[in-house]
Structures are given as C-alpha cells and as structure tokens.
C-alpha cells in the first residue's frame, strides 16, 4: 500500500474526503497513475512530496511502503 496524505482542498476529491488514505500499489505505478486512481485532478496539485522529498516530475514511479503527500495551491485568507 502507498500511504497518501493530502493538504488543502485536495481532500475534496478523496474517498470520504479523508486527509490520509492508503492506496493499493501496482507494478509501474507513477505519481500520475496514483492521482488518477484516487480521483485527484493532477492540475489542482501544487506541491508533491515523496518520502519526505519534494518532487516535480509526475512520471516518477512509486511502490508499496512509500508515503506521498499532495498539496493544493495556497491562497489568501
């Protein structure tokens, strides 16, 4: 399983609008396919963190045991 944490309004797209979920890992899974599987639109993601490191390439592969964090844009307030 991949542990996924979401911040900001991205929780709107997760099942049950949860801020943390475990998603099943599949062979060759990338950040892009992980987002698609959960239902988070990639164009709403402003910041991605894989195992504590900020990444910018959504074609990076992920595997079971990884922790991925996605954040929306931060706006005024």
Partner 1 sequence: MFGSSLQVLRVNLTNHTISTQILSEETYRLYPGGKALAGYILLNELPTGIDPLSPDNILVCAAGLLTGAPVSTSTRYVVSAKSPLTLGFAQSEAGGFWGPELKMAGFEAVVITGKSEKPVYLFIKDGEAKILSAEHLWGKTTADAEKLIRDENEDDKIRVLQTGIAGENLVRYAGLTNDLRHFNGRGGLGAVFGSKNLRAIAVRGNGRYQQNAADATALMDVGKGLARRVKDSPLSWDLQSHGTIGLVALFQPAGMLPTRNFQEGLFDDWEKISWKGYEEKIFTHARSCYACAVRCKREVKVDGKVSEYGGPEYETVGAFGSNCGVGDIEIVAKANELCNAYMLDTISCGMTISFAMECYERGLLTKADTDGLDLRFGNADAMLTLIEKIAKREGFGDTLAEGSWRVARQIGMGAEEYSISCKRQELPMHEARGKFNVGIGYAISEIGADHLVVPHDGGFANSESYQFKEAAKLGMTNPQPTKVLNAEKMNHFYLMEQWISLENSIGFCFFGPSPRSFIQVEEVMASINHATGWNMSIEEAMRIGERATNMARLFNLREGFTREDDTLPKRIFSALPEGPLSETIIDYDEFQIALSELYRIKGWDTETGVPTPEKLTELGLGWTTTSK
State the residues that interact with partner 1 by CB under 8 A.
Answer: 7-13, 17, 41, 43-44, 46-47, 49, 54, 69, 71-77
CA distances from 45 to 12, 27, 32 (A): 12, 23, 11
Continuous H helices in 1-77: 31-38
- Cβ 6 to partner 1 shortest distance, Å: 10
User: Between residues 11 and 29, which has the closer beta carbon with respect to partner 1?
Assistant: 11
Within 10 angstroms of residue 35's Cβ, the number of other Cβ atoms is 23
User: Between residues 24 and 46, which has the closer beta carbon with respect to partner 1?
Assistant: 46
């Amino acid at each position: 399983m991949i542990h996924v944490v979401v911040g900001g309004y991205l929780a709107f797209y997760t099942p049950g609008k949860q801020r943390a979920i475990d998603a099943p890992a599949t062979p060759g899974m990338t950040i892009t396919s992980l987002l698609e599987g959960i239902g988070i639109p990639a164009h709403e993601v402003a910041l991605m963190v894989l195992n504590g490191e900020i990444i910018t390439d959504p074609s990076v592969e992920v595997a079971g045991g990884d922790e991925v964090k996605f954040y929306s844009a931060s706006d005024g307030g």
